[in-house]
Amino acid sequence: MTVHIAAEPNRIAETVLLPGDPKRAEWAARSFLDAPELVNDVRGMLGFTGTWQGHRVTIHGSGMGMPSLSIYANELIRDYGVKTLVRIGSCGAMQAHVGLHDVVIAMSASSISTPSSTILREVNFAPCADWGLLHGAVAAAKARGISPHVGGIYSSDTFYDERPDLTEQMTRHGTLAVEMEAAELYTLAARHGARALAVLTVSDHLQTGEALDSQARESSFGDMVEIALESAFAERSHAAQ
């Protein structure tokens, strides 16, 4: 048990999917896992452990923004020994060729700062995804008839952005999309020898102002869960073949 997770030590799997929204964690666990059991509900941040194709998996909310995600990822990695963390969430598109509903797989995540910036100090660390997970996710998406956008994203500290000049520069430098968690997740995974990836669906577009309604967001969420699960176990199932 940790400050924010009430689960007994053996009740969290080595592989964890991290949606921002705890209700999405519940929906994903009940929809995709066999025998899901509630393992955490401290502060309403729900976590469930079950199995997917015989593999143990936990699906746990991360909350919104890097400080919240950092708390859960730290406790999951350091106290529960989690080895693989895949964020599944939404993002805002920053390029004209990235459309609503599209899947973005984050190869790297830029930021102005993360909760880890105080440790890294003057270093502009480049948080990047685990190659095996990234490769597995691209293959899983393609197998489902989805052509994902793969590249750099921006992990922002704000949803209500007051810096159009910054958005312009990030867009000019080819950044695919903005969200609020991946840079810290990748940095923590790097620090502790874990694997991490963010698989995202475009819920709004910064250039056109279009946005998905909540029902449309739900349907694209299912694809992300399956891509995340397949990527997490890709190497192991290939090895077993």
Sites of contact with ligand HPA (CB under 6 A): 90-92, 156, 159, 178-180, 203-204
What type of residue sits at position 235?
A: E
Active site residues: 204
* 3-state SS, residue 187: helix
Query: Residue 159 CB, nearest distance to ligand HPA (Å)?
Result: 5
Record the tokens describing residue 153, joined without a space.
Answer: 């994203």
Judged by beta carbon, residue 29 or residue 206, the one nearer ligand HPA is 206
Judged by beta carbon, residue 65 or residue 136, the one nearer ligand HPA is 65
Judged by beta carbon, residue 20 or residue 36, the one nearer ligand HPA is 20
Query: Residue 239 CB, nearest distance to ligand HPA (Å)?
Result: 35
Residue 89 host element (H or E):
strand 84-93
Determine whether 53 is exposed, middle or buried from the number of CB atoms within 10 Å of its CB (0-12, 13-18, 19+).
exposed
Record the tokens describing residue 170, joined without a space.
Answer: 């990030």
Query: Residue 164 CB, nearest distance to ligand HPA (Å)?
Result: 13
Judged by beta carbon, residue 193 or residue 209, the one nearer ligand HPA is 209
- Distance in angstroms (rounded) separating the CA atoms of residues 137 and 119: 30
Query: Residue 181 CB, nearest distance to ligand HPA (Å)?
Result: 9
Residue 29 is classified by DSSP as H
CA angle 32, 38, 40 (to 5 degrees): 125
Residue nearest to ligand HPA (CB): 92
